[in-house]
Amino acid sequence: MGFGRLAIFVAVAAFHYGSAAVVKRTVTCPTGQTTANEACCVLFPVIDLIQQELFDGGECGEEAHAALRLTFHDAIGFSKNGGLGGGADGSILAFNSTETQYAANEGIDDIIARQFPVFLKSGLSPGDFVHLAGNIGANNCPGTPQLPFSFGRPPPIAPAPDLTVPLPTDSVTDILARMADAGFSTPEVIWLLSSHSIAAADKIDPTIPRTPFDSTPGTYDTQFYLEVLLKGTLFPGNGSQSGEVLSPIAGEMRLQSDFAFSQDSRTACLWQEPINDQSFIQGKFVAAMTKLQVLGQTNLTDCSDVIPTPAPFTADIHFPASFDQNDVQVACTTTAFPSLATVSGPAPTIPPVPAP
Ligand code: HEM
Ligand SMILES: *[C@@H]1O[C@H](CO)[C@@H](O)[C@H](O)[C@H]1NC(C)=O
Ligand SMILES: *[C@@H]1O[C@H](CO)[C@@H](O)[C@H](O)[C@H]1NC(C)=O
Ligand SMILES: *[C@@H]1O[C@H](CO)[C@@H](O)[C@H](O)[C@H]1NC(C)=O
């Protein structure tokens, strides 16, 4: 892509911290953008391609959500002890006909079909494409911390086997065990689940596609952790489905596993901790995602500075209209629940995430 006329301008600036001199290099790419590492220049046109062809010019919509989910379902095909796949290797894209057959990957075929032609145009390896697209998609959502990107995953060798991806019907014990086998601590699991703040379900109840897990699926915030704790009273669609439990709000879906984590003595305080603490969850999510996206990978190049900066979210969160502290199923006994105001007006009905 026009790299014949590559001109590299290297600006060198020296910053002095005490006696140590830190030299920061900046390369100006053919596209005019800058990065610390020339090898990252190829990503700028790919990011534009992804934004235009996958995310409708940069939206936090259905495809962005699904692209983030895809990073998890790809990467978690991994075990510290080996034998469960190559981790964040793009096998879910390259070996899609195998991995989309797995029950936990239900619905993943849609985003695979959307990504595949864009992947072919990108020139990236499957792993780099899946994880770059996931980060760009997530970063389209206000409030997401700027997710870093490591570049240089080799092509995947084989599909991941079945049963590496947790199901919403799995117990807390089983999900924690599976995640620990991939290298994640219990707190990291709870922090990764902040992804469900920009998420919806298509397949749990197929009569109500794109039903979100919180009232603000277009914003990465801590509303999700709060709303999972509100007393459940209804099923948003055609009655009770496998993997879902009672939801507090019309139009909102609550996963059985999310609720179980919110109530289990091992995780209840971890679940409560992020509520209305945006900078806390941002820091924890970045760290856990960074780990997720390099599972099974070595010798990658840090290209984090090519990733666009997300719009901020800094407001306090609120109880949805008609809810207050009395509706919270408090399960953490050691920390006080944060004090939150209630949105005024009648109880809301949450609209589905717009169709792509
Ligand atoms: C650990 C246990 C987890 C379980 C049991 C679980 C389960 C689910 C289920 C059942 C859905 C709805 C699928 C559908 O019906 O369309 C979903 C959606 C989603 N999940 Fe998870 N998940 C887990 C962890 C994660 C993690 C770690 C991430 C990312 C880092 C993630 C990101 C997402 C996203 C973004 C969606 C929304 C996809 C969309 O809106 O199209 N999940 N998850
Ligand atoms: C799945 O991957 C194959 C190549 O392995 C590709 O030809 C096919 O188009 C992909 N399927 C979808 C739905 O994109
Ligand atoms: C709704 O649920 C009932 C009972 O589970 C089932 O028989 C029916 O087919 C469902 N309706 C639709 C539209 O899926
Ligand atoms: C690491 O990557 C660099 C640059 O891509 C390459 O030259 C080197 O051989 C790689 N080392 C290993 C151990 O793969």
- The pLDDT, as a whole number, for residue 22 is 60
Which residues touch 114 (CB under 8 Å, ≥6 apart)?
Answer: 54, 63, 66, 356
Mean pLDDT of 136-150: 98
* Cα-based torsion angle of the residue sequence 48, 306, 274, 345 in order, rounded to the nearest 10 degrees: -30
pLDDT in tens, 313-349: 999 999 999 999 999 999 999 999 999 999 999 999 9
Which of the ligands is closest to the CA of residue 39? Answer: 4
Does the beta carbon of 19 lie inside 6 Å of ligand 4?
no
The closest residue, in CA terms, to atom 20 on ligand 1 is 69
**Beta partners for residue 35, in sequence order:** 27
Higher pLDDT, 8 or 203: 203
Which of the ligands is closest to the CA of residue 300? Answer: 4
Does the beta carbon of 150 lie inside 6 Å of ligand 4?
no
Which of 89, 116, 120, when mutated, tests ligand 2's pocket best, judged by the most ligand atoms within 8 Å of its CB? 116
Distance separating alpha carbons of residues 189 and 84, to the nearest angstrom:
19
Among residues 202, 254, 199, which one has the least CA distance to residue 226?
A: 254
Distance 281 CA to ligand 4 centre (A): 34
Distance 243 CA to ligand 1 centre (A): 12
Mean pLDDT of 84-110: 98
Global pTM reads 0.94
Residue 254 has pLDDT above 70, yes or no: yes
Which residues touch 274 (CB under 8 Å, ≥6 apart)?
Answer: 191, 194, 222, 225, 280, 281, 284
pLDDT tier at 21, thresholds 50, 70, 90: low
Mean pLDDT of 44-60: 98
- Amino acid at site 64: A
- The pLDDT, as a whole number, for residue 234 is 98
48 is in an annotated binding site: no
16 is in an annotated binding site: no
Distance 299 CA to ligand 4 centre (A): 6
pLDDT tier at 19, thresholds 50, 70, 90: very low
Cβ pair 90, 155 in contact under 8 A: yes
Higher pLDDT, 264 or 10: 264
Which of the ligands is closest to the CA of residue 207? Answer: 3
150 is in an annotated binding site: no
- Is 73 one of the annotated active-site residues of the chain? yes
pLDDT tier at 25, thresholds 50, 70, 90: confident
16, 73, 131, 318: the active-site residue? 73
- The pLDDT, as a whole number, for residue 3 is 37
